[in-house]
Amino acid sequence: MISKKGTVVLGVIGADVHAIGNQILEHALREADFKVINIGVMASQKEFVQAAIETGADAIWVSSLYGHGEMDCRGLRNKCCEAGIGDILIYVGGNLVIGKQNWQETEKLFKNMGFDRVYPPGTLPGVSINDLLEDLKLSKGDKK
């Protein structure tokens, strides 16, 4: 399948096995005409980077629901840079930290780690898809 919009590598990072949100995002991205490479749950940073390189992905979407996103995501941008894809878009969302913490501080933490977009729990897929379209400078009718 050739996508009109681009290719997204999607997965759940670390020891996290929460798959439902990942599947919802996959479906929403496909409906929005993106090619989705879903690497599933319990994915390592290396797996995200390798999948992005192998597929020529435009973006990496990292999901984390079990609260250890800070630990699991730290260094992902550096791994992308080391692999020659340092300019790839990287999004992250879910329950990224343990406990109830100030969202603005959590967002700043992940932006400082090199993530382009950071989403709190409960963000609807359409919000992040619209952001991706904006970030890729594509409109719904554009072809890649």
CA 126 to chain centre: 14
27 is catalytic: no
CA 111 to chain centre: 13
One-letter amino acid identity for 89? L
User: What phi, psi does 125 have (nearest 5°)?
Assistant: -55, -35
Angstrom CA distances, 58 to 2, 7, 18, stand at 14, 5, 24
Q: Which among 18, 116, 131, 135 is annotated as catalytic? A: 18
One-letter amino acid identity for 34? F
68 is catalytic: no
Residues annotated as catalytic are 16, 18
